[in-house]
Structure 1
Amino acid sequence: MVSAKDQDVVELLLDQHKQIKALFAEVKAADGDAKRTAFRQLVRLLAVHEAAEEQVVHPAARDAAGDAVIKARLHEEHDAKRVLSDLHDLGTEAADFDTRFAALERAVLQHATREEQEEFPALRRTIDPARLRRMAGAVKAAEAVAPTRPHPAAGESAIVNLVAGPPLALFDRARDAVSDWSRAARG
């Protein structure tokens, strides 16, 4: 096992893809509060993961994998943000949540597979290992200040994420704290 310090950006993102797959399974298997909690965790992970990829990974991979590959990933991410935002607003108890959630899962897992097959190998071929390790640190830093919910209207560019991301993240994290407090007070 690679230590977190020695982990490169591809290893970090592959680990996160595994976490995302596990959270999809957890949401599907749960109900009630457990389902809401697992879905909130999935929303948060997807939001910070995609924001960090848009800031750090996709710009670095554009030359290596090609503009068409990166444009396609950004389009997929935009679509997923829109659906994820709609599902978040809909709530896990809605009658059509499970059907729409299954479609999101298929799209997100196909997106992850395309990254793993097209983008990640290109990064490994063209970027030296030391830079890939530094990129892992940059992804972690970007995730620390990324919004915790999808904001499809904000777009998918690195510049938008750098400018709009921190204020949206503050708003999201404040909303998360109030929501957590409210749930604890009712509990």
Structure 2
Amino acid sequence: MTAAAQKQDVIDLLLSQHNEIKSLFTRVKAARDSEQKREAFQQLVRLLAVHESAEEQVVHPSARDDAGDAVVDARLHEEAEAKHVLADLYDLGVDGPGFDAKFAEFERAVLDHATHEEKEEFPALRRNTDANTLRRMAGAVRAAEATAPTRPHSQAGESAAGNMLVGPPVAIFDRMRDAVRDWREAHQR
């Protein structure tokens, strides 16, 4: 890990990921062909899956004391809905009928979710958690992301315990599927 990454706190890490997610939404919409669109969408799916899993394991449990149960429960509800829609979009495929319309609705929901986190949850964490703990939480988020599934699995739930129990075995399967998919795509050209 770089020195800059070691100094980065969890809120800065998550804000950076939110910006990356926004950029990937733009790339999907701006793609000139199905291959570019599929590649950008796969990157978005992976980032959203690992990001939300890590938030559910590390950030939301910590934020309960700071932002309150109602704020965290609302974010978990949004994440549960997003997992279902993302799984539907993944199954539909970027060339599927209605993908673009459903994708646009999904983008609005995800960006609204990120805005709620940035205005309600993150300020409470920053205000009530010391800087050293926030830096350690960034390390915990990175570790959770390294073992998180790379696809949405709505049946896993949104709890920290559920993600820790189901996440690693499912992540191994997802990462094997990703490797096979990437190999096939690279060798079919």
Which TM-score bucket, shorter chain as reference?
over 0.9
Within a 5 Å distance, the mapping from 1:22-171 to structure 2 comes to 22-30=23-31, 31-171=33-173
Partner of 2:17: 16
**Amino acid paired to 1:73:** R
Report the alpha carbon displacement of residue 94 of structure 1 after superposing the two structures with TM.
1.0
Number of residues of Structure 1 aligned to a counterpart in Structure 2? 186
What RMSD in Å do the two structures reach over aligned CA positions? Answer: 0.8
**Amino acid paired to 1:28:** K
Q: Which sections of structure 2, spanning at least 5 residues, go unmatched?
A: none
**Amino acid paired to 1:6:** K
Q: Provide Cα deviations, 1:45-87, integer angstroms capped at 9, x if missing partner.
A: 0000000000000000001000010000000000000000000
Within a 5 Å distance, the mapping from 1:164-179 to structure 2 comes to 164-179=166-181
**Amino acid paired to 2:160:** A
Looking at structure 2, the residues matched to 59 and 22 of structure 1 have their Cα atoms a distance apart, in angstroms, of 28
TM-score (norm 1): 0.98
Over the matched positions of the two proteins, sequence identity in percent amounts to 67
TM-score (norm 2): 0.97
Partner of 1:184: 186
Looking at structure 2, the residues matched to 170 and 83 of structure 1 have their Cα atoms a distance apart, in angstroms, of 23
Q: Which sections of structure 1, spanning at least 5 residues, go unmatched?
A: none
**Stretches of 4+ aligned residues off by more than 3 angstroms:** none
Report the alpha carbon displacement of residue 183 of structure 1 after superposing the two structures with TM.
1.1
Report the alpha carbon displacement of residue 32 of structure 1 after superposing the two structures with TM.
1.0
**Amino acid paired to 1:8:** D
Report the alpha carbon displacement of residue 159 of structure 1 after superposing the two structures with TM.
0.1
Q: Provide Cα deviations, 1:23-55, integer angstroms capped at 9, x if missing partner.
A: 000000003100000000000000000000000
Report the alpha carbon displacement of residue 6 of structure 1 after superposing the two structures with TM.
0.5
Looking at structure 1, the residues matched to 87 and 11 of structure 2 have their Cα atoms a distance apart, in angstroms, of 27
Report the alpha carbon displacement of residue 95 of structure 1 after superposing the two structures with TM.
2.1
Report the alpha carbon displacement of residue 185 of structure 1 after superposing the two structures with TM.
1.9
Report the alpha carbon displacement of residue 4 of structure 1 after superposing the two structures with TM.
1.4
